[in-house]
Amino acid sequence: MRRSFHRQPATHLSRIDDSYVSLCSLRSLVARRSSLVELPPIPHAMEKYSQFRDPGTGIAPFLPIPNPPAGILTPVHVLLFFLRVPFVLSLSLLYFGFLEFLPVGNTIKKCVLWVILTIPGVWWVDLQVDGVKRGKLAEKQNHLPHAGSIVAASFVSPLDPLYLAGIFTPVFTRSWAGEKKVEVITLFRAICLAFEKPQLEPPKTAKLFTLKELTEKNPDSIICVFPETTTTNGRGVLRFSPSLLTASPKTKIYPVHVKYSPGDITTPVPGTALSWIWRLLSKPTHCMRVRIARHMYNTTLDERVGKTTAADVDLGFDTNIFDSPHMRNGVGSVDEKDEKEGFEWLESVREDFARLGRVKRTALGVREKSEFVKVWGKRKR
């Protein structure tokens, strides 16, 4: 009885303390709301770009990550830059001017690409695959992308396609926000896209293909897709292009996310090639964090659109072909159910991206980045 008697005052006092803390917090909140507490003003720059933050998470995926000052190490950075430039320049001319178009083995091309990556200080690549323990990757090769599969990769830096080419030697493609088909591009073109302004629509001269057509034309190669269609700073995942919906349901799709430390070698803003080369070649080392998710399949109903089967339409004379489920809403049109399923499946891929990169999905896309680039350009003038 005495123990229970002595416990009550302690519990009672703790409740009083909690109530007092809550009351103080409430008074502080009321004071702030009533302008009794003077809050620091919001900087004009942050207020100017606040419209390009994700409303749900507050993430700003288009703002460039600042480069920390070198301080007393500035002479070392300058020395590293001038020592590395001749080697990187000569090897780049060798590869993109000759080796990329010559019928040499992939082993030689991969070796040259890895030397190009090593010279700027990309010494360490932290590679991890879902379902594979560290040190057991050689025994689980079936968890990696292979010929006939698709890689859906993040796009934050020109090093992304360079690394993917050094590992998988894929067929690179370019996607657009409102277009399901993709355009085949070279490795050099994929690197240049990291410095260019985002485009909403493909040019009229572009030769477009579906992912199913590309996998059938290139059965011995991996197809690489950048579903975000533009670069970010790696702190959020943008809305995806519908190009992944054209993949065959039998084709394996591997989400791949690349992250850098430090993150100032990302290129979320176009037209920063010279400053990016300085940041890349002047620092001693750069670390890449690569994550590959388990493969998935395109489970949408896009392949049923525009097709009629014997089960859907009876080919007899008494049958009206417009009674077909695919023809009721117009020839070749997509049902709302199909659009919803396609959106949900793309969101599942985006969720894998966010999980791999330990970031969050955003409601922003390439249209918002186009507007951001216009505002950013006015700031620089």
Which pLDDT tens digit goes with each residue over 90-137?
999 999 999 888 888 889 999 999 999 999 998 778 889 988 887 777
Residue 276 lies in a domain: yes
Contact 173, 223 (CB under 8 A): yes
Q: Please tell me the distance from the alpha carbon of residue 22 to that of residue 38, in angstroms, as a whole number.
A: 21
For residue 72, being part of any structural domain is answered with: no
pLDDT of residue 381: 53
Identify the residue with better confidence: 164 or 7. Answer: 164
**Per this entry, what is the length of the chain?**
381
150 in Cβ contact with 254 (< 8 Å): yes
Look at residue 265 and tell me if it is in a domain: yes
pLDDT over 90 (residue 173): yes
User: Is residue 162 scored above 60 in pLDDT?
Assistant: yes
Kindly state the percentage of the chain with pLDDT values over 70: 77
Q: How far, in Å, are 129, 140, 186, 218, 250 from residue 297 at the CA level?
A: 17, 20, 26, 18, 7
305-340 confidence digits (pLDDT tens): 444 443 444 444 444 544 544 444 444 444 677 788
Q: CA–CA separation, 192 vs 16, rounded Å?
A: 64
- High-pLDDT (> 90) share of the chain, %: 59
Q: Is 319 a domain residue?
A: no
| pTM (predicted TM-score) | 0.79
Q: Name the pairing type of β-strands 208-209 and 179-185.
A: antiparallel
What is the number of structural domains in the chain? 1
What value does the mean pLDDT take over residues 270-298?
Answer: 93
Q: Which residues have C-beta within 8 Å of that of residue 131, sequence separation ≥ 6? A: 140, 143, 294
Q: Is residue 372 part of a domain?
A: yes
- Dihedral Cα 170, 176, 182, 188, nearest 10 deg: -40
Q: Above 80 in pLDDT, residue 77?
A: yes
Identify whether 263 is part of a domain: yes
Q: How far is CA 20 from CA 12, 16, 29, in A?
A: 12, 6, 14
- The model's confidence at residue 179, banded by pLDDT at 50, 70 and 90, is very high
Q: What is the dihedral of CA 313, 319, 322, 323, to 10 degrees?
A: -70
Q: Is residue 108 part of a domain?
A: no
CA–CA distance, 180 with 242 (Å, rounded to integer): 5
Would you say residue 44 has pLDDT above 60?
no
Its domain, for residue 167, covers: 123-296+352-380
In a domain, 292, yes or no: yes
By mean pLDDT, which of 26-40, 221-235, 273-287, 316-330 is the weakest?
Answer: 26-40
Residues 299-310, mean pLDDT to the nearest whole number? 52
